Structure 1
Amino acid sequence: MKAIFNDIVIAESERTVKVGGNHYFPSNEVNHQYLEESRTHTTQEGMGEASFYHVKVNGEVKLDAAWTYPNPEKKAEEVRSYIAFTDAVELKD
């Protein structure tokens, strides 16, 4: 699975985890140079608190276009420190 933004592959993994229709990429298979921490945090029941990132590639920015659960609830432990992307980022199998 690849995550592509502005024609650049920002994440690539054969080990994504699919939860709730979202593909989560292992953090070490995401190119963090294209992510900038956001101040946005949300809480999803059953998942825990999500921390967001802005995605920035070649001058194009999508605010809050990626998120992670650094300390997920027990039933969401499989996505701890994995990163998912909004529809602003294209996913290709």
Structure 2
Amino acid sequence: MKAIWNHTVIAESDDIVTLEGNHYFPETSLKREFTTFSNHRTSCVWKGQAHYLSLFVNGEMNPDAVWFYPEPSEAAAEIKGRVAFWKGVQVTD
């Protein structure tokens, strides 16, 4: 699968975990040259605290478009070390 934003592949992998309709890519598949810091955080009752990264591609910023759980709950252990996308990032086969 590929994660694409602003006509650019920002992650690509065959090792995908799907949880609640979101496709989680291995963190190592994320092309870090397109990410930048975000201090945004959210909490999920059963997964834990999500951290975010922003995307910066071809001169355009997409704030908080990548999220991950650095220390997910035991119930969500399968997404540890993985990232997911939203805010216009297309995930395709």
With the shorter chain as reference, the TM-score category is: over 0.9
| Partner of residue 61, structure 1 | 61
Task: Note the C-alpha offset of 1:88.
Answer: 1.2
**What count of residue pairs does the alignment treat as equivalent?**
93
Q: Any residues of structure 2 matched to 1:27-66 within 5 Å, and which?
A: 27-66=27-66
Name structure 1 gaps, 5 residues minimum: none
Task: Note the C-alpha offset of 1:3.
Answer: 0.3
Q: TM-score, normalised by structure 1?
A: 0.96
1:75 counterpart SS class: helix
Q: TM-score, normalised by structure 2?
A: 0.96
Q: Any residues of structure 2 matched to 1:1-93 within 5 Å, and which?
A: 1-93=1-93
Consecutive aligned runs of 4 or more in structure 1 exceeding 2 Å deviation: none
- Percent sequence identity is 40
